[in-house]
Structure 1
């Protein structure tokens, strides 16, 4: 008899998990991993806008306000984007000469890197 309450709970839980999935761009339901990745990228975009857009072009177009600051969409032209994880977490001291030193929590570093990776454009040859 103790197990009877579990059936409604499982049904409600399954319904809640399905309802939380947002539709993907092609009309399919996004997986939890896709939803989590989209949230991470959104958090990274917010960090980029708040902390970096004063010098860098942080979107998919436009010039950087600071002439020595590489647009975020072109970072992979000079560095593997994932190689920024350690400098971001330990206190990044690269970039243009008057770039402030930033030190991020790992979750913020991961979010910023996910966003930067999501906007990379192919290098023109």
Structure 2
């Protein structure tokens, strides 16, 4: 009887607890970062950046409020580390990338 009640409580909890999943924008932002940034930057919460002078994305919010990066991404980032290529993103890409960066804060 106790096992059945416990089993029922666990199933109920699993069915009613919201799933912590990335939004589509966060997923697209992560994919963008993986395809365009991961060669130099760590784009996750734990690994080191492959290029030592490239800051890990998880620390960007310590240097800049993430929202303030939108303008630089729209106009084309020309600063950063010396070997960083210039990127100019469209508004949807900016939204997606910033959504992903916020998950790393």
Bin of the TM-score, shorter chain as denominator length: 0.7 to 0.9
In structure 2, relative to structure 1, the CA distance for the partners of 1:28 and 1:63 (3 Å cut) is: closer
Structure 1 runs (4+) greater than 4 angstroms displaced: none
- Give unmatched runs, 5+ long, in structure 2: 1-14
Counterpart residue number, 2:17: 27
Shift of 1:93: 1.1
Mapping of residues 1-125 of structure 1, within 5 Å? 27-28=17-18, 38-120=23-105
- Give unmatched runs, 5+ long, in structure 1: 1-24, 121-125
TM-score, length-scaled by structure 1: 0.67
Q: Find the residue that maps to 1:42 and give its secondary structure.
A: helix
- Could you say what the CA RMSD is over the residues aligned between the two structures, in angstroms? 2.1
In structure 2, relative to structure 1, the CA distance for the partners of 1:101 and 1:41 (3 Å cut) is: same
Q: Deviations over 1:54-94 (max 9, x none)?
A: 00000111100111111000101111111100110111112
Which structure carries more relative contact order (alpha carbon 8 Å, separation 6+)? Answer: 2
Q: Find the residue that maps to 1:108 and give its secondary structure.
A: helix
Count residues with an aligned counterpart: 91
Cα distance between partner residues in 1 of 2:82 and 2:34? 20
Cα distance between partner residues in 2 of 1:98 and 1:85? 21
Shift of 1:28: 3.6
Structure number, greater radius of gyration: 1
In structure 2, relative to structure 1, the CA distance for the partners of 1:47 and 1:26 (3 Å cut) is: farther
TM-score, length-scaled by structure 2: 0.79
